[in-house]
């Protein structure tokens, strides 16, 4: 018999959530084969079985929170030919003959009371005990009748019934009538929410704005994109231009590339640029390492690979740790102007926006030009207005003279 244990995830991560069981009791598993997917604050991690055999029992359900080092499943010897009974059948069997009940379902079922006969995950039972909730009163979402943590949480936050007035069809409001949909936030979404709130509460964040005439960048990209693709097998986008411009501006304004450590300001002598990527699970920020040492093709290739890993949910913790500055592009969703929020301990983030043609004064003439608003959010405890405005102005000037940017990179 081999135990499946939650592995060490990262220095700052001590728990995760069971996102998906890839194997069920009775399934055959090979040594090194993935058995469960864990969702952590930053990435999803697939856990392997260290032994070959048959999954004998699962000790946690999908949606349960588990700790590093916790045993979550067991693998025993066997051929896997005898699959366990469905949950509904197991419930009936356990209710009638508890002494002979199979132990392939990770729940505790007894016949002493209606609550004890309710099928529930261990974590759900624990939470129900802490909140003083009778499991038999909970309406689970699971069609098989299994109560999970989210069911307990939803029940505990539901308004208590009142006896002051009778409930009629005209006045009744419930989630069952289709007017509401309650969706539990994923672990990642909860982490994003708490960290964004923490940033707003713990920093003196301000935002300064400017606008960039994208005429020359777009013209240069149009002229060079085919040859660029032929030479490097990667497409020339705008992100490499912005990344290079940001690196050049960070070198001139080093406090924008820093962080606070107690009473010290730590200026980073490296340029690891985070590129925000939107995924179904939320925003993630993989890092382009040593962006100052990479050319345009290497940056575009790096961004493309990281974006694909993010969309495929294959990012590793090492892909997202240690960035010194972040670029986020709300323009891909049509955002004209926004105020980006600082990323973690960083003191600066650049927000890109959609390119929109607008009338602009060029000398004594009015011309229609493709313009982009850009925003720099910064921690005013470290960065003064002079540096923030100067940084953003330099980014603007470099992008309006892209030939110089490419020649000097």
Q: Does the annotation mark 272 as catalytic?
A: no
**Rounded alpha-carbon distances, angstroms, from residue 25 to 78, 85, 104, 166, 187:** 12, 9, 6, 47, 26
List Cβ neighbours of 83 (8 Å cut-off, separation of 6 or more).
Answer: 24, 25, 26, 27
Helix (H) or strand (E) holding 243: helix 239-252
In 3-state terms, what secondary structure has residue 9?
A: coil
**Alpha-carbon distance values, 262 to 131, 206, 259, 345, 347 (Å):** 39, 21, 10, 12, 14
H-helix or E-strand spanning residue 371: strand 365-379
User: Of 97, 110, 134, 6, which is closest to residue 59 (Cα–Cα)?
Assistant: 6
Q: Which of 3, 226, 231, 384 is catalytic?
A: 384
3-state secondary structure of 329: strand
Query: Mapping DSSP to helix (H, G, I), strand (E, B) and coil, where does residue 35 land?
Result: strand
Q: Taking the CA atoms of the chain, what radius of gyration do you get in angstroms?
A: 27
Mapped onto helix, strand or coil, the DSSP state of residue 367 is: strand
Pairing label, strands 365-379, 65-67: unpaired
Choice among 3, 231, 380, 404 that is catalytic = 380
290 tagged catalytic: no
Q: Which residues are catalytic?
A: 380, 384
């Amino acid at each position: 018999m081999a135990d499946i244990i939650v592995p060490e995830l990262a220095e700052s991560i001590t728990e995760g959530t069971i996102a998906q069981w890839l194997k069920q009791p009775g399934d055959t598993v090979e040594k090194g084969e993935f058995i469960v997917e864990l969702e952590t604050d930053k990435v999803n991690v697939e856990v392997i079985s260290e032994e070959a055999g048959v999954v004998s029992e699962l000790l946690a359900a999908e949606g349960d929170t588990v700790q590093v080092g916790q045993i979550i499943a067991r693998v025993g010897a066997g051929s896997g030919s005898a699959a366990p009974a469905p949950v509904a059948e197991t419930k009936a069997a356990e209710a009638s003959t508890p002494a002979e009940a199979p132990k392939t379902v990770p729940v505790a079922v007894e016949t002493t009371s209606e609550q004890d006969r309710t099928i529930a995950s261990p974590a759900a039972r624990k939470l129900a005990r802490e909140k003083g909730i009778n499991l038999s009163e909970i309406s689970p979402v699971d069609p098989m009748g299994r109560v999970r943590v989210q069911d307990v949480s939803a029940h505990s936050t539901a308004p208590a019934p009142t006896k002051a007035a009778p409930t009629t069809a005209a006045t009744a409001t419930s989630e069952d009538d289709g007017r509401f949909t309650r969706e539990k936030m994923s672990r990642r979404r909860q982490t994003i929410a708490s960290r964004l709130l923490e940033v707003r509460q713990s920093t003196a964040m301000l935002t300064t704005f400017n606008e960039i005439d994208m005429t020359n960048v777009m013209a240069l990209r149009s002229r060079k994109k085919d040859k660029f693709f032929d030479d490097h097998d990667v497409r020339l986008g705008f992100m490499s231009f912005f990344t290079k411009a940001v690196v050049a501006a960070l070198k001139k304004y080093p406090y924008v590339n820093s962080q606070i450590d107690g009473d010290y300001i730590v200026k980073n002598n490296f340029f690891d640029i985070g590129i925000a990527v939107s995924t179904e699970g939320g925003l993630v920020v993989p890092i382009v390492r040593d962006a100052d040492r990479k050319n345009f093709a290497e940056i575009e290739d790096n961004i493309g690979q990281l974006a694909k890993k993010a969309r495929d949910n294959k990012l590793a913790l090492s892909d997202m740790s240690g960035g010194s500055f972040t670029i986020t592009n709300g323009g891909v969703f049509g955002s004209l102007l926004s105020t980006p929020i600082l990323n973690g301990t960083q003191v600066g983030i650049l927000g890109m926006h959609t390119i929109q043609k607008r009338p602009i004064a060029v000398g004594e003439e009015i011309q229609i030009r493709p313009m982009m608003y850009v925003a720099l959010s910064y921690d005013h405890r470290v960065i003064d207005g002079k540096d923030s405005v100067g940084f953003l102005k330099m980014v603007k000037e470099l992008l309006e003279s892209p030939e110089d940017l490419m020649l000097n990179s």
